[in-house]
Structure 1
Amino acid sequence: MDRVFGLGGTADSFEREYREISNLSVIAYAESQIRGHLERETTSVLPLLTAYHQLQAEALSQAASMAMIDEARKGTP
């Protein structure tokens, strides 16, 4: 079974997707407004995957994120 890991866009609309293939190899796909890039080299993909998992572990829950956004919007015209 394939598993997909995504890392959402930043200010420059940069997207990354990580896919674990059933044969345990990994690939990373990075996309910007200009082009996309597929990376298959394990030495390049694994640091990206590690960074993704670290961000995932530290991220707020969806409910906490929405509460933070709602709080930030208060007082905004």
Structure 2
Amino acid sequence: MSDLAPRPLAATGCRRECAWSATGDTLAGEPLFACAGCGSEWVRSQEWTPVDWQGEVPAAVLTERARG
């Protein structure tokens, strides 16, 4: 796991192929998640919560959000 330098998160329009998972990296000390479908990124300090292609919040994201 590496701690990436602070930078804006990648944000791409949803293509209904969303599959969110932890990348193994951190961004400014927070675990970084990315969507395999569109390449968007998320960390728990964001005000929004990612969902998968079925509209469900992935378990790993729920766990990370609960830490927040």
Is the pair's TM-score, using the shorter chain for normalization, greater than 0.5?
no
| Greater RCO (CA < 8 Å, at least 6 residues apart) | 2
TM-score normalised by length of structure 2: 0.31
Larger Cα Rg: Structure 1 or Structure 2? 1
Return the structure number with greater helix share. Answer: 1
